[in-house]
């Protein structure tokens, strides 16, 4: 075949396409397990960050394995999910959109703006060396201004004192809503109280600065300036996920002493 013919050009283009697509799909398939491992390490790292336990020079994997117990719970009851009810492996994110594995949220209760939520959620129990419960870490998400904010909220074993909050995914504007990643802002969370003495959720990001010494200061976090909508999104997702419609039943189980003992 002549090298300057149309047929030859088409053949070279076709061979190039086939070779490249084999290379790309080979790389995608070959690297899948490594991608999954990286995703898993990132999740564990963020859980440790929320719990205030991430330490330099220590393996995330080892720290996680040594101190954290993962549990899949049925949000409706707060008890461990029955293995028959949940497909394995369980992808919580896609479950939140699966009609069989999620429930719709009434508009009046949907303060986090997520419309549906998964029926089953992972929770993370942080154990002391003697096996006693030290903290719990809960996955939380809800609407910000431009995006869904996804993160972890950690509570001390009293289930009322915040141990930490971190977001691992969002598309808010850097310098505005994106300041939810700022370590100085995240440092304002530990020690704040979730509920008042009546048990109502009061933890919130306010507009402006918290007035130290006022009765509500223990529940309040400074707002992000120029980012009231993202700030409100953070308050709202906490209000939803810690309510009786989401993790409330699980928190009740822990308060009753169920699940609080180490199984290992
Ligand atoms: C380009 C651009 C990006 C913005 N990004 C955010 C954001 O990420 N989060 C947010 O709450 N507000 C953001 N805003 C501001 C909101 O539109 C709104 O004005 C603001 O949330 C009000 O907050 P303030 O009362 O503190 O000014 C952005 C505005 C502009 C023009």
List the chain domain ranges: 32-255
CA dist 13 and 26 (Å) reads 20
User: 235 in ligand 1 pocket by Cβ < 6 Å?
Assistant: no
Task: Give the other-Cβ count within 10 Å of 25's Cβ.
Answer: 10
CA dist 215 and 48 (Å) reads 31
The enclosing H or E element of 247 equals none
User: 220 in ligand 1 pocket by Cβ < 6 Å?
Assistant: no
Closest residue CA from atom 19 of ligand 1:
226
Q: What is the pLDDT of residue 129?
A: 84
CA distances from 176 to 172, 201, 208 (A): 7, 26, 14
CA dist 247 and 76 (Å) reads 8
Q: What is the pLDDT of residue 183?
A: 95
pLDDT along the chain (264 residues), means of 10: 89 95 92 88 95 90 92 96 91 96 96 97 93 95 98 97 97 97 96 96 96 94 97 98 97 86 49
Q: What is the pLDDT of residue 97?
A: 96
Q: How far is the CA of 230 from the centre of ligand 1 (A)?
A: 8
pLDDT in tens, 206-218: 999 999 999 899 9
Contact yes or no for 80/71 (Cβ under 8 A) = yes
Pocket test for ligand 1, best of 143, 144, 145 (most atoms within 8 A of CB): 145
Q: What is the pLDDT of residue 261?
A: 52
CA dist 230 and 176 (Å) reads 8
Q: How far is the CA of 145 from the centre of ligand 1 (A)?
A: 8
Q: What is the pLDDT of residue 227?
A: 97
User: 226 in ligand 1 pocket by Cβ < 6 Å?
Assistant: yes
Contact yes or no for 166/62 (Cβ under 8 A) = no
Closest residue CA from atom 13 of ligand 1:
227
Tokens of 249: 């039943």
Beta strands in the chain (DSSP E): 68-74, 79-80, 102-104, 116-118, 120-127, 133-143, 148-156, 162-169, 204-205, 220-221
Closest residue CA from atom 2 of ligand 1:
173
Closest residue CA from atom 11 of ligand 1:
227
């Amino acid at each position: 075949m002549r090298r300057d013919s149309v047929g030859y050009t088409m053949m070279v283009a076709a061979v190039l396409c086939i070779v490249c697509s084999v290379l790309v799909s080979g790389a995608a398939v070959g690297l899948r397990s490594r991608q999954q491992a990286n995703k898993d390490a990132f999740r564990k790292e963020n859980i440790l960050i929320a719990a205030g336990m991430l330490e330099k020079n220590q393996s995330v994997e080892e720290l996680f394995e040594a101190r954290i117990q993962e549990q899949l719970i049925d949000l409706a009851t707060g008890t461990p999910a029955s293995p028959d009810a949940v497909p394995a492996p369980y992808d919580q994110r896609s479950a939140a959109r699966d009609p069989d594995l999620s429930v719709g949220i009434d508009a009046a209760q949907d303060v986090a703006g997520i419309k549906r939520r998964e029926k089953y959620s992972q929770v993370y129990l942080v154990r002391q060396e003697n096996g006693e419960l030290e903290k719990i870490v809960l996955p939380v998400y809800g609407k910000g201004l431009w995006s869904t904010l996804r993160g972890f909220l950690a509570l001390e074993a009293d289930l009322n004192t915040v141990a930490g909050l971190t977001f691992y995914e969002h598309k808010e504007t850097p310098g505005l809503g994106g300041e939810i990643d700022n370590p100085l802002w995240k440092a304002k969370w530990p020690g704040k109280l979730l509920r008042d003495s009546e048990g109502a959720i009061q933890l919130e990001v306010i507009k402006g600065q918290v007035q130290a010494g006022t009765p509500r200061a223990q529940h309040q976090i400074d707002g992000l300036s120029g980012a009231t909508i993202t700030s409100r999104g953070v308050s709202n997702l906490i209000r939803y996920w810690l309510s009786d419609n989401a993790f409330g039943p699980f928190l009740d189980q822990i308060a009753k002493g169920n699940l609080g003992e180490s199984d290992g």
